[in-house]
Structure 1
Amino acid sequence: MSVMLNDLQAQVLALEVRLYACCARLQAQTDAEALHDLRIALRKLRSLLRPLRRQAPCAQLEQAAAALGRLSGPWRDLEVLAGELRQQGHPLLARRRQAPLLQGYRDVLGSEALQQLFEALDDWPASCREMAQAGQWRGGGKRIRRHLRAQARRLAEALRDPAHDRHRLRLLIKRLRYGAEAYPQYAELPAQAIAALRGAQSALGDWHDHLQWLARLPAEPDLAPCAADWQRRLERAEVQADVALQALLGYFPVAPNGC
């Protein structure tokens, strides 16, 4: 097998081990970061596989990881909200969200999405060998490089859109950052650009959190004591996000040509 394929298999195996460990931590409730770490592992897995989705096993495994990501996302949002409430001195509001959150953990652990992901991971090594024997991995490095260039071009164009959508920019930044971290040898981005992407993602994440918390108010009126503070912090986060986005322009001065 090629060096690229050997490295890919090693990374997928390491992430599989990490996913099992995260599930064990979530089951035993040993710490508050288990679900977060599980979702990070899912993102890393998807970033490895997304440029190679022309191959059916890659597409199947990436789709399984995406399904679990969608299922676990609302519970992570609730987890972050509960942590915010505790930090801001509202322990009762946080406790009210603890019971549904614990049920959410159980739902994730007992889900068909999790079972299907681990089944796809079990099938992955044999599928890789079959594709290698059929010569289907040739040109994989070129596909990865084209994919990352296309992601960089989309981000460069979106950054220059006067009517840019922060939600879309956040998604584009996440995809490029995680893809570049998964394949640094193909990313063609300096370390400073990766750091700038990470900073912009963090700033946009802060903005997104406050926007989501405020959006919950109509359905969760007990959050009203937090509304004024969240609104002030949202406005500050918008400014900080725009500053971080402006800094990215220096690393993407023109949209790259071609793929």
Structure 2
Amino acid sequence: MSFVDAIVAQVLLLETALYHTHARIEARTDGEALHDLRINLRRMRSLLRPLRRIGAVALLNEAAAEVGKLTTPVRDLEVLIDELERQGLTQQANARKAILQSSYGSIVESSTINQLFSRLDEWPSAFRDAERDGELRQIRKKIAKRLRKQVERLKAALTDPQYDRHQLRILVKRTRYATDAYPQLSPISAEAAASLKVVQTALGAWHDHYQWCLKARLEEDLQVLQHKWQVAATAALMSAEVELFQLAELLAKNQQA
């Protein structure tokens, strides 16, 4: 299978998975459907991101980005409800579940997600046209180069103690997902890749608690947890800083090797 064929095959598999998760959300079969939809969407965007300057990819990438924007606040609400239930705040959790159910309906019926599926249907033939027109020439080499640049951006950020941790979290996510999407082209070692995942989890825990603290300032029924969340956010960031240091060392060794 050629490199281009492999990309097409992966996108088609992800398209099938997206249709399946969409059906699960519509039928309300389980509480993980939206999360799974976003995982598959993220995998697709990671495949497309290095190719986004190609016209055949740009439209699909934009449609996928819009679905990401649409579903992010709903996923955040799911995570918050889970946290409230873990903390034993059933009343606060239940008050938000009705909003959550309504949000599921809005996602399923949205023109945004319908646009994504429409673009997915059109994409394979458009991508093949781009291949015939020579737009995908040396695409493997170009993707490898972009992955190296992505890792270099992360390495530079890790050496800057003043680099905003919110922006660093996003950079870590993009680097991890990009190298996961093209493992055969990844410029980092398996050990560094594992560290990248640990760092993402640590920064994610900090980010969640940070966002909940902001919500508690605006939503009175959450204020009972504000101090607890502040303490947890501080601890999570301290843990993340340790992991960031280890990641920086691994990436430096990776360059030397």
Instruction: State TM-score, norm by structure 2.
Output: 0.96
CA–CA distance in 2 between the matches of 1:141 and 1:91? Answer: 51
Instruction: Indicate whether 1:230 and 2:235 are aligned.
Output: no
Determine the structure 2 residue equivalent to 1:31: 30
2:188–2:254 contact (8 Å) kept in structure 1: no
Q: How does 1:57-136 map to 2 (within 5 A)?
A: 57-136=56-135
The within-5 A match list for 1:169-184 is: 169-184=168-183
Q: Give the corresponding residue for 1:56.
A: 55
Contact 1:207 1:234 in 2 (8 A): yes
Gap regions ≥5 residues in structure 1 = none
2:198 alignment counterpart: 199
State the alpha-carbon separation in 2 of the partners of residues 170 and 254 from structure 1: 22
Please list, as runs of the form range in 1=range in 2, the aligned pairs for 1:33-48 lying within 5 A after superposition. 33-48=32-47
TM-score where L is the length of structure 1: 0.95
Structure number with higher helix proportion: 2
Runs of 4+ in structure 1 deviating by more than 3 angstroms, as ranges, are: none
Q: Shift of the alpha carbon at 1:254?
A: 7.9
- Report the AA paired with residue 112 of structure 2: A
Between 166-175 and 195-204, report the one with greater CA deviation. 166-175
Whole-angstrom distance in 1 between the partners of 2:253 and 2:146: 17
CA-based RMSD: 1.5
How many residue pairs match? The answer is: 256
Asked if structure 1 preserves the Cα contact closer than 8 Å seen for 2:206 and 2:237, the reply is yes
Q: 1:199 touches 1:244 (CA, 8 Å); kept in 2?
A: yes
- % identical equivalent positions: 45
CA-CA distance at 1:255 after TM superposition? 10
Are 2:157 and 1:158 equivalent residues in the alignment? yes
Report SS of the residue matched to 1:164: coil
CA positional deviation for 1:162 = 2.0
Corresponding residue of 1:15:
14
Whether the 8 Å contact between 1:60 and 1:120 is mirrored in structure 2 is yes
For residue 153 of structure 1, report the CA deviation from its aligned partner. Answer: 0.5
1:215 and 2:214 matched: yes
- Which deviates further from its counterpart, 12-21 or 162-171? 162-171
State whether residues 153 and 255 of structure 1, in contact with CA within 8 Å, keep that contact through their aligned partners in structure 2: no
Which ranges of structure 2 fall in alignment gaps of 5 or more residues? Answer: none
Deviations, residues 2-37 of structure 1 (Å, cap 9, x unaligned)? 711100001000100110111111111111111111
Amino acid corresponding to residue 97 of structure 2 in structure 1: Q
Distance in 2 (CA, whole Å) between partners of 1:178 and 1:166 is: 18
Is the 1:154–1:255 contact (alpha carbons within 8 Å) kept by the matching residues of 2?
A: no
Map 1:220-259 → 2, pairs under 5 A:
220-253=219-252
